[in-house]
């Protein structure tokens, strides 16, 4: 009889994530891993620096699987350390939106997510990169990074919740939306545009209201680049209306490029850039490229995912 070898698992949980009560989550995870006969060591990280530190240590340790528990920012931070290694990423959706886990078909509860880890079905997926920094979902400049910055400011100064802060930040930023002058270089072609934002997705994103932010596949080997030519509150509101009716791609002001690599130049030497819900100042130009199959991740078995 062949005895199955239980893989060692390191679990990194963001104790400050949107839906996490640290102690309760740790207890539930311990119970779920024991139930499935899994050898898991759970770490609670208090901040982003601890998440990265624990992920770096995990890449050098004996554990075969590194499970990240938190929102998309947490998952992305851990995954960035696992790219091009033999370690396997597992996802525990503990954030607010959990877009990455939804694209993978991961159950949105801990019991279901741990059960998927126990099945250990893996695939290789693509990773996006800009100036050496990795992202799993998307990156953008212009409108969205400013909304995130204002949202965080409202949360810290006014004590508002994340959703309320996001709504008022979006309303404020859209009202004063200015146009970026950008030069896009892709496939030996140059595009010059004035736009309120440039959105770069890791693979192709759906653009209708009921599926916006969803991806049908994550191993297509390309980036999807989206931008519009109309600024101001009214122009952006009209784009939202088109999105609701599933006609965004038919809008005259909407442009889309699918490519493996793109360079974005602006008049600014440094610009605020968003990555998977986090923001950072980066030097320009911004060189985006896709890293095909650079990350191994645990997913539901195909038959289960299609149910």
Span 209-233, pLDDT tens digits: 444 568 889 999 999 998 876 655 5
Helices marked H in the chain: 22-35, 48-60, 72-82, 99-104, 110-119, 143-158, 162-175, 232-244, 302-305
pLDDT higher at 240 or 145: 145
What pLDDT score does 142 carry? 84
What pLDDT score does 23 carry? 84
What pLDDT score does 236 carry? 56
Query: Highest-confidence range of 5-9, 215-219, 234-238, by mean pLDDT?
Result: 215-219
Span 80-123, pLDDT tens digits: 999 999 999 999 999 888 999 999 999 999 999 999 999 999 99
**Ranges of each domain in the chain:** 8-119, 134-291
CATH number of 134-291: 2.60.200.40
Span 280-301, pLDDT tens digits: 999 999 999 999 999 999 999 9
What pLDDT score does 6 carry? 65
pTM of the model: 0.83
CA 276-11-17 angle, 5° bins: 45
What pLDDT score does 210 carry? 44
Mean pLDDT of the chain, nearest integer: 83
What CATH superfamily is the domain 8-119?
Probable inorganic polyphosphate/atp-NAD kinase; domain 1 (3.40.50.10330)
Residue among 125, 122, 124 at smallest CA distance from 137: 125
Cβ atoms of residues 44 and 15 within 8 Å: yes
CA 196-200-203 angle, 5° bins: 150
Whether residue 163 is predicted with pLDDT greater than 60 in this model: the reply is no
Q: How far apart are CA 37 and CA 286, in angstroms?
A: 45
């Amino acid at each position: 009889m062949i005895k199955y070898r239980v893989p060692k698992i390191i679990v990194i949980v963001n104790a400050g994530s949107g839906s996490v009560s640290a102690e309760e989550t740790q207890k539930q995870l311990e119970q779920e891993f024991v139930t499935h006969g899994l050898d898991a060591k759970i770490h609670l990280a208090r901040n982003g620096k601890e998440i990265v530190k624990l992920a770096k240590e995990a890449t050098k340790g004996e554990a075969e699987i590194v499970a990240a528990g938190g929102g998309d920012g947490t998952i992305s931070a851990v995954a960035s350390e696992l790219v091009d290694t033999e370690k396997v990423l597992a996802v525990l959706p503990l954030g607010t939106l959990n877009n990455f886990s939804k694209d993978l078909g991961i159950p949105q509860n801990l019991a279901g997510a741990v059960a998927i880890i126990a099945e250990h079905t893996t695939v290789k997926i693509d990773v996006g990169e800009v100036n050496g920094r990795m992202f799993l979902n998307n990156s953008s400049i212009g409108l969205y990074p400013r909304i995130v910055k204002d949202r965080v400011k409202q949360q810290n100064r006014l004590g508002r919740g994340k959703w309320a802060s996001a709504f008022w930040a979006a309303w404020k930023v859209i009202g004063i939306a200015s146009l970026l002058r950008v030069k896009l270089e892709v496939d030996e072609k140059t595009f010059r545009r004035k736009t309120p934002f440039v959105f770069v997705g890791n693979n192709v994103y759906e653009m209708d209201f009921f599926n916006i932010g969803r991806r049908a596949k994550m191993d297509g080997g390309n980036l999807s680049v989206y931008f519009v030519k109309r600024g101001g509150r009214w122009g952006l509101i009209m784009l939202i209306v088109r999105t609701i009716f599933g006609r965004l791609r038919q809008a005259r002001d909407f442009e889309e490029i699918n490519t493996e690599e793109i360079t974005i130049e602006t008049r600014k030497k440094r610009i605020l850039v968003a990555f998977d819900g986090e923001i950072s100042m980066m030097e320009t130009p911004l060189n985006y490229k896709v890293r095909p199959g650079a990350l191994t991740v645990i997913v539901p078995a195909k038959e289960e995912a299609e149910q």
